[in-house]
Amino acid sequence: MQDDKQDDTQDTHISTLSSLGEEFIYALIDNPYECPIVIGNDGIIKFMSRYSKELLGIDSAKATGKHITEVINETHLHEILKDGKARIGDTLYIAGRQQLISRIPLKDLDGNLIGAVGKGMLNEVTRLWDLQKKVDLLDGQLRYYQNQVTKLKGGNDIVGNSLPIRGVKEKALLAAKTTTNVLITGESGTGKEVIAYFIHQSSFRANGPFIKVNCASIPADLFESELFGYESGAFTGASTKGKPGKFEMAHGGTILLDEIGELPLSMQAKLLRVLQERTVDRLGGTKTIRVDFRLIASTNRDLNELIKQNIFRKDLYYRINVFNFHAPKLQDMREDIPLIAHHLLTQLKDDITWGPSGISEEAMVLLQRYSWHGNVRELGNVMEQASIIAKSDVITPEDLPDQIRYCIDTSKEATNLPSGGNLRQILEETERKTITTVLRSVQGNRTKAAEILGIHRTSLYDKLHKIKERLGKEDTL
């Protein structure tokens, strides 16, 4: 009964094909898009499209009747005759370019293999490869920017177990439970953005956007369009489609105004209105846009001092300074330096996929002894430099900069300078202390000390001699 149904179906197909007529069947088989080649079960070419000469550089009249391998050296079409399995989407370099083809077995009504057909799937396959390359490039760029964003934001945790860091974490978790405005102060390089992102990630807005605006990097005449957006034709050079501002982009999430102390006075008044009304007006627009955001501001400047100088609005200060954080300096949490250094090293390893995975005990002692006036940012730079020049899987003292290896602090504050004397005396005393520090760090090796100080060895001897004469001592070092 089942066989009868199959026979009926076959008869229907045959009848349908017959009804098409020769013109339709020929147009179906011979078309410039697939350019088919048909071979028998002996590999002899039975049919080749007349478009073969144009697309493949092969004369179909001369090729018909020859074995497929005589016409196309690189062909694998005849291999279909061995196992009767179709190959779809293979590539073949022919006629000076890559072709994307399919190879399909041909069977009669009884299922017997009687030949094979090879035909193109995309004649302009070079365009396909170009498109694929562009897709791969964009995919790579996307992954790169994602990694950079994660690195920039510092992941979703604040690294460290010291008392100052624990205090910041506890306060940040409290802030995350609210929607109030936050102000983060602290020296440059202390990780204020990391704290901001930690608050964002710990809040109910974690799935929303985290938009950072560096107020120090935006030209004064572009602030309004950057923060609030603009409509088409709002100004010369404006996009014909308009552009949303940073506050619109932060809708449902958090916006970080970094270096808010650099915000011009004119923009401070407009920002105050946005904070009060939670709406923005695009430049050149007529429609008020409601926005839902959480504001976090950060600065390394003393805003109270800026208020005294009349370059920062007092009412804006009180509006943003509802929940205040102060990012601790790295030298105030030296016990966290090993954790932070290893965390930075792990991030570097993820980015460059090679380099050291650890830090020797000797190198770590030096890292904890250094003053770190550039804070975590400076530590990150040192870790990156050491990762590049390290010759083993562990960072050693030899991989660290000289100022860390020999504990040379060129950034001493004015309070550490001699308190009395004229300029010449101050310079002489500063020079003596520097030379003394370097000599002690190299166990009295004057050749090495001269190298570190960047002077000739004889110059160092002259300076030592003058110091001894000035102090009237035989050995002052």
Q: What is the DSSP track for 80-139? A: HHHH---EEEEEEEETTEEEEEEEEEEE-TT--EEEEEEEEEETTHHHHHHHHHHHHHHH
pLDDT at 148 (0 to 100): 47
Q: Domain 331-405: which CATH class? A: mainly alpha
Q: Does domain 31-123 have CATH number 3.40.50.150?
A: no
Question: CA 291 to CA 211: how far, in whole Å?
Answer: 13
The first and second tokens of residue 419, run together, are 């308190």
Question: CA 346 to CA 224: how far, in whole Å?
Answer: 39
pLDDT at 127 (0 to 100): 56
Q: Hunting for tokens 């166990």 — which residue is that? A: 443
Amino acid identity at 380: G
DSSP per residue, 263-316: S-HHHHHHHHHHHHH-EEE-BT--SEEE--EEEEEEESS-HHHHHHTTSS-HHH
pLDDT at 153 (0 to 100): 44
Would you say residue 151 has pLDDT above 70?
A: no
Q: Give me the residues paired with residue 39 across strands.
A: 45, 116
Amino acid identity at 339: L
Domain spans of the chain, in order of start: 31-123, 154-327, 331-405, 414-471
**Structure confidence by residue, pLDDT tens digits, 351-391:** 766 778 889 888 888 898 888 999 999 999 999 999 989 88
pLDDT band of 143, cuts 50, 70, 90: low
Question: CA 274 to CA 281: how far, in whole Å?
Answer: 9
At a CB cut-off of 8 Å and minimum separation 6, what does 361 contact? none
**Nearest Cα to 292, choosing from 252, 246, 256?**
252
> Maximum distance among all alpha carbons in the chain?
123
Is the CB of residue 388 less than 8 Å from the CB of residue 355? yes
Question: CA 443 to CA 436: how far, in whole Å?
Answer: 10
pLDDT band of 255, cuts 50, 70, 90: very high
- Number of residues in the chain: 477
Neighbours of 159 (CB within 10 A): 17
Kindly state the percentage of the chain with pLDDT values over 90.
34
pTM over 0.85: no
The SS3 assignment for 223 reads helix
Choose the weakest-confidence range: 267-276, 328-337, 423-432.
423-432
Question: CA 168 to CA 335: how far, in whole Å?
Answer: 16
pLDDT band of 77, cuts 50, 70, 90: confident
Q: What is the mean pLDDT of residues 445-453?
A: 77
The torsion angles phi and psi of 205, rounded to 5 degrees, stand at: -90, 10
CATH of domain 414-471: 1.10.10.60
- Report the CATH fold assignment for 154-327: Rossmann fold (3.40.50)
The average confidence (pLDDT) of the chain is 80
Q: What is the mean pLDDT of residues 396-406?
A: 87
Question: CA 198 to CA 34: how far, in whole Å?
Answer: 57
The first and second tokens of residue 174, run together, are 């409290």
Which contacts of 372-378 are long-range, i.e. CB under 8 A and separated by 24 or more positions?
372/329, 372/330, 372/331, 373/409, 373/411, 374/188, 374/189, 375/187, 375/188, 375/189, 375/190, 375/191, 375/329, 375/330, 376/189, 376/190, 376/191, 376/330, 376/340, 377/188, 377/189, 378/189, 378/330
Neighbours of 202 (CB within 10 A): 18
pLDDT at 54 (0 to 100): 74
pLDDT at 231 (0 to 100): 80
**Structure confidence by residue, pLDDT tens digits, 314-329:** 999 999 999 999 999 9
pLDDT at 133 (0 to 100): 47
**Structure confidence by residue, pLDDT tens digits, 256-275:** 999 999 999 999 999 999 99
Question: CA 364 to CA 266: how far, in whole Å?
Answer: 48
CA 359 to centroid of chain Cα atoms: 25
Would you say residue 128 has pLDDT above 70?
A: no
pLDDT at 200 (0 to 100): 94
